[in-house]
Amino acid sequence: MLERLQKIISRAGIASRRHAEQLILSGAVTVNGRVVTELGTRADASRDHITVGPRAVRFPAQQEQKYYALHKPPRVVSTMNDPEGRPCLGPYLRRFPGRLFPVGRLDFDAAGLLVLTGDGELASDLMRAAAAIPQTWRLKVKGRIPEEAREKVARDAGVPLRLYRDAANAWYEATVRNAPRDLLRRSLARQGLLVEKQVRTAFAGVELGSLAPGEMRALSPEEVKSLRLAAGGKLQIPESQPKQWRTGAVRRGGEGREAPAPAVAHWRGARGARRPARPVRPARPAGRRRGRRSPHPAGRRTGHNRPEGQGSE
């Protein structure tokens, strides 16, 4: 089967797809003895002889793919290594055999659920559909959020907040989709509220549960099935969740009145998803017309800018 070279190299565990593209461009990859430097070149891993530098691309005997959930601690980069020397995921995965990599990323200061796998095809499909996949966040806010501010955040972000744990610095929970990762934090900041902690507790039907920071667990077959459904855009949101969580609508003005969530500025199109309609510009008020710029420097044709030889009438 013909596949892109960078995908074959990544599947063999030699490099990530992005690094594989750099290797191809640098002339380090050969196919049947010919140097390949063009991205998008396809090859058949079962028939073609592919090398990356002095190393031949070989696939081990077919092994069962592994899927894990990691509780990423805060202040850890969601990559296998970091050129700046910051803490990363590498040390947490050393005791697990085989090649694993994260599906997507969490912010440096955020904590919570991160899915890890060696299934490159599923990981790629999940990242393409990430915008439409529901994920649940818990946020610890300095103080409490007044009811009026919660309503403003719901209108601004299109995401209702519910109280999760009442305390001097309360915790709130929200389920978001079709939105940037920091949407809630920015919406709360506009209300003068500081988010002290962010924890992702669910992603595509996989829940963090009681997993402690830095610990990992294998996913169940049901959770892997949920990931595959989410990658194909077929994941069903449980009916137990409020309707506005499932549709992205904000309920206001009483029962039966729903307003759609505002279009997010940074739209990330998912496979099979439609781009939101562009808002219609309001009509210009009657009687207000935009004047045309005069071609004459002084505006009106007065005696100061009339062509020579023309006097006043």
DSSP string computed for 198-239: EEEEEETTEE-TTPPTT-EEEPPHHHHHHHHHHHTT-PPPPT
Locate CATH 3.10.290.10 in the chain. 2-56
Q: Which amino acid is at 138?
A: R
Q: How far apart are CA 188 and CA 231, in angstroms?
A: 30
Q: Comparing C-alpha atoms, which of 200, 43, 225 is closest to residue 106?
A: 200
**pLDDT score recorded for residue 292:** 57
- DSSP β-bridge partners for residue 140: 171, 197
Locate CATH 3.30.2350.10 in the chain. 67-231
Residue 215: CA atoms inside 13 Å, Cβ hemisphere, count? 8
Q: How far apart are CA 259 and CA 252, in angstroms?
A: 7
**pLDDT score recorded for residue 266:** 37
**pLDDT score recorded for residue 45:** 84
The CATH number of 2-56, from 3.40.50.620, 3.50.50.60, 3.10.290.10, 1.20.210.10, is 3.10.290.10
Active-site annotation, residues? 107
> So what CATH class is 67-231?
alpha beta
Greatest pairwise CA separation for the chain in angstroms: 99
Mean pLDDT by 10 residues, the chain (313 residues): 85 80 92 91 89 83 78 92 88 80 90 90 86 90 91 86 93 84 82 91 94 93 93 65 38 35 38 51 59 54 53 49
0.75 cut: is pTM over it? Answer: no
Whether 137 and 203 have beta carbons less than 8 Å apart is answered as no
